[in-house]
Amino acid sequence: MAEAERIINTPDTPEDGAHQAPEQAAERERTGRGRRIAVLFAVAAFAYALDLISKTLVVAKLEGRAPIKLVGDLLELHAIRNPGAAFGFGAAFTVIFTVIAASVIVVIMRLARKLYSFPWAVALGLLLGGALGNLTDRIFRSPGVFNGQVVDFIAPKGFAIFNLADSAIVCGGILIVLLSFRGLDPDGTVHKD
């Protein structure tokens, strides 16, 4: 009975136990970070795949055709090519937007080395997937490499036309703002300002 009680009360997490060997704590830390990085890349891959599939379908089935009404006049699918950023801003600066997207990807990859927060992994995964989706358009779509136009197709009434990559970027950005307001850093620490 005493042996069973000792096993039940033995701490097995870094938060619970000062009794752990330093090697065990370091291994748990590496595993925790590895899981967060896996989450980041899984979310990024999912967002990227959805964006590529949706754009492929839009180009094949919707481009050059009349918009499809989904919710009356409130929401349509309307294929356009956007050389600029959100809201068609900066059409003359396509190469600059390509460089910005590539820079965002590099920054996220560098942040991933210090990532211990699950919510940050999701947020950065959304940003990475969205940036990769639009960067793919900028590199591989006409009129040419680094000048490619992004395929946009989600058209709410009275708002700009956008795509799933844009949605992932916005959702990731909103999540980062919320995490920052809560004081949660990518390394998992919480601070009070």
How far apart are the C-alpha atoms of 109 and 103, rounded to whole Å? Answer: 10
* Residue whose token pair is 């970070």: 33
Catalytic residues: 152, 166
Backbone φ and ψ of 154, nearest 5°:
-90, 115
CA angle 164, 75, 70 (to 5 degrees): 95
Q: What is the residue whose two structure tokens read 């058209």? A: 155
Short-list 113, 128, 136, CA closest to 176: 128
Structure tokens that stand for 117 in this block:
């927060």
In angstroms, the Cα distances linking 144 to 85, 91, 137, 140, 159 are 17, 14, 10, 7, 28
Residue 184 phi, psi (nearest 5) = -95, 125
Instruction: With beta carbons less than 8 A apart as the criterion, state whether 78 and 159 touch.
Output: no
Would you say 46 and 130 are in contact if contact means Cβ atoms under 8 Å apart? no
> Angle CA(71)–CA(156)–CA(160) in degrees, nearest 5?
165
